[in-house]
A and B are shown apart, each in its own frame.
Chain A
Amino acid sequence: MTAAAPAKSSAPNSFAPTAVGLGTLVIFLLTVEILIRTGVISQFIVPPPSEIIGSFYRVIVEEHVFNRFVLTLTECLTAGVMLTVFGVAGGVLMHRFKLLQQACETWVAAMASAPIVLMYPLFLVIFGRSAWTMIMMGFIAALPPVILKTVEGISGTRKVLVNVGRSFNLTPTQQFWKILFPAALPTIFVGVRLGLIFALINIVGVEFLINFGGLGQLINDLAERYDLAGTYAAICFVILVSVLFFMVLEKAERWLRPVH
């Protein structure tokens, strides 16, 4: 409720840029429509935007988009639960045993920059052509940021909070649950948010590549049928879902972050 107040006061200022942004998008789509209708761009390569918008309903109803969406989301959330459990546990373990942190943190950071998703043929062999391939792919590819952010969050706990815990003679377990973990929670959530985004990207990608599962498979399926307008509409739909997912996670993060 309170968060809406500044948005309202800044609304008149932010209206013009938003309008320009949206206007540019509309003009771009209109230009493409005209270029296709006049034959400058072949409609066998790019379908007219009006046709893409028209095929949204068809794709949503005929291709069972809702079921696919639920499937992809379930895979993503399952990977998310595993990420949170194993990622946070890994981070806590690394913080608890400094030697382990010194030995492994660089490795985990290196893994974060490695193209883990390319291991999908290996996961196909291990888990078969099933939802578990997608879930495990999302989980493994998104694990490094969760571990790193957990370590960062716990290590970054303010000294004064740790000292308060010490002055109360807290046991190490109490110190962790009452002081370190609550203080690190916002940073840990940044890691989980990054992890969930990585998981979604990888899950949709692998669904598309192995032609199995939810939203990713839909695009592959429509492209193989050479349903151009449908393919473009499905891509727009997946992008929309990803953006919404991203926005929801961002809102959740803001809600969790303490106000200083």
Chain B
Amino acid sequence: MAETGPLRRVAVPAPALSPVTLLRIAIILAVLAVWEFLAHSGWLYRDVVPSLLSIGRAFADLLSHGDFYFNLGVTTGEIATALAFGGLAGLAVGILLGANQFLSKAFESYLYYLGPTPKIIFFPIMIMWFGVGPGSKIALGTLSCFFPVALSAAAGMQQIDKVLIRVGKSFRASTAQMVWKIYLPAMRHPIINGVRLGLGVALIGTLLAETKLSNKGIGFLIIQAYSIFDMPRMYAMLIVLFVLAIGANALVGRLGGLHSIKRL
């Protein structure tokens, strides 16, 4: 009798690199090649597209100086403070509006329509209120991140399963217990998503404010590089900033269980 056994998967040797990876590598190489060609072609003003080597040197120079880390620390501190203030205020307002239908109808449309407005234009007011130091940058970051967090929290509150709320009420949970034990755990994903969006806009608000008026922070370094026309340094700083921003965004998403960078 023929011997029968479990089916075995025929081992097909997997290619060392998948076609997607190969295409990615090809795209990156093509972009770098075009860049280098443009840098040496003389078609553009000198240094508008600096050579990769000079960007690399500027990159190494940037990362090897303590000055950069000090300014990065200042900006990170400002963004973290803005996220803490704006996030907590947004969360409180979002929970309040989400829990009360009347308040939601009265005020949520204001939040909804004020959310997508340019916040940087409030900077002159912030300077008058909080001075030219880090205070005004933190305030602008706070204002920027308040709206996405509040709107996400309000939407999250409204989507909570009613059964969970009834369970909490049947246990006669106090308001604080309801918030800690029911609302916050149940709306974890919308809140994390709001924080992720809030982080993005707080970062933009704070850094833009730094480019406008400051004497420290990454925004200041970028505008300083622009004013002395040190283009390789500016490119190096933008690369570092983009990597940090995208990394922070993905990290917040991962920590909150959003498994990929969520689409808009």
Report A's interface with B, CB cutoff 8 A: 14, 16-18, 20-21, 24, 45-46, 99-100, 102-104, 106, 109-110, 112-115, 117-122, 124-126, 144-145, 148-149, 152, 194, 197, 200-202, 204-205, 208-209, 216, 219-220, 223, 228, 231-232, 235, 238-239, 242-243, 246-247
Contact assessment for A121 and B234 in the assembled complex, using a CB-CB cutoff below 8 Å: yes
Q: Say yes or no: is B6 at the interface (Cβ < 8 Å to chain A).
A: no
- Give A8 Cβ to nearest chain B Cβ, in Å: 17
Output the residue of B120, B123, B223 with the most chain A CB within 10 A. Answer: B120
Contact assessment for B125 and A235 in the assembled complex, using a CB-CB cutoff below 8 Å: yes
- Give B83 Cβ to nearest chain A Cβ, in Å: 14
Contact assessment for A204 and B102 in the assembled complex, using a CB-CB cutoff below 8 Å: no
Report B's interface with A, CB cutoff 8 A: 19-20, 23-24, 27, 44-45, 48, 102-103, 105-107, 109-110, 113-114, 116-118, 120-125, 128-129, 196, 200, 203-204, 207-208, 211-212, 219, 222-223, 225-226, 229, 231, 234-235, 238, 241-242, 245-246, 249-250, 260-264
Chain B residues within 8 Å of A121, by CB = 211, 222-223, 225-226, 234
- Give A231 Cβ to nearest chain B Cβ, in Å: 6
Contact assessment for B121 and A205 in the assembled complex, using a CB-CB cutoff below 8 Å: yes
One of B19, B117, B125 near A201 (C-beta < 8 A): B117
Contact assessment for A21 and B107 in the assembled complex, using a CB-CB cutoff below 8 Å: yes
Contact assessment for B116 and A201 in the assembled complex, using a CB-CB cutoff below 8 Å: yes
Chain A residues within 8 Å of B250, by CB = 110, 113
Majority secondary structure, B binding face:
helix
Chain B residues within 8 Å of A117, by CB = 204, 208
One of B23, B118, B129, B245 near A113 (C-beta < 8 A): B245
One of B196, B208, B263 near A109 (C-beta < 8 A): B263
Beyond A112-B264, A205-B208, 4 extra complex contacts between A and B, CB < 8 Å: A21-B107, A115-B204, A118-B211, A144-B264
- Give A83 Cβ to nearest chain B Cβ, in Å: 14
Contact assessment for A115 and B212 in the assembled complex, using a CB-CB cutoff below 8 Å: no
- Give A51 Cβ to nearest chain B Cβ, in Å: 15
- Give A109 Cβ to nearest chain B Cβ, in Å: 5
Contact assessment for A232 and B125 in the assembled complex, using a CB-CB cutoff below 8 Å: yes
Chain A residues within 8 Å of B102, by CB = 16-17, 20
Residue of A at shortest CB range from B127? Answer: A223
Cα distance, A216 to B117, chains bound together (Å):
12
Residue of A at shortest CB range from B129? Answer: A45
Between-chain CB contacts (< 8 Å), 22 pairs: A16-B102, A17-B102, A21-B110, A99-B20, A102-B20, A103-B20, A110-B250, A113-B200, A113-B249, A115-B207, A118-B207, A118-B208, A121-B226, A148-B264, A201-B117, A208-B212, A228-B128, A232-B125, A235-B121, A238-B117, A239-B117, A242-B116
One of A46, A114, A220 near B245 (C-beta < 8 A): A114
One of B27, B113, B118, B128 near A205 (C-beta < 8 A): B118
Cα distance, A218 to B125, chains bound together (Å):
14
Cα distance, A115 to B104, chains bound together (Å):
31
Cα distance, A21 to B97, chains bound together (Å):
12
Residue of A at shortest CB range from B246? Answer: A110
Contact assessment for A124 and B242 in the assembled complex, using a CB-CB cutoff below 8 Å: no
Chain A residues within 8 Å of B226, by CB = 121-122, 124-125
Chain B residues within 8 Å of A202, by CB = 118
- Give B207 Cβ to nearest chain A Cβ, in Å: 6
Residue of B at shortest CB range from A235? Answer: B121
- Give A101 Cβ to nearest chain B Cβ, in Å: 9
Chain B residues within 8 Å of A148, by CB = 263-264
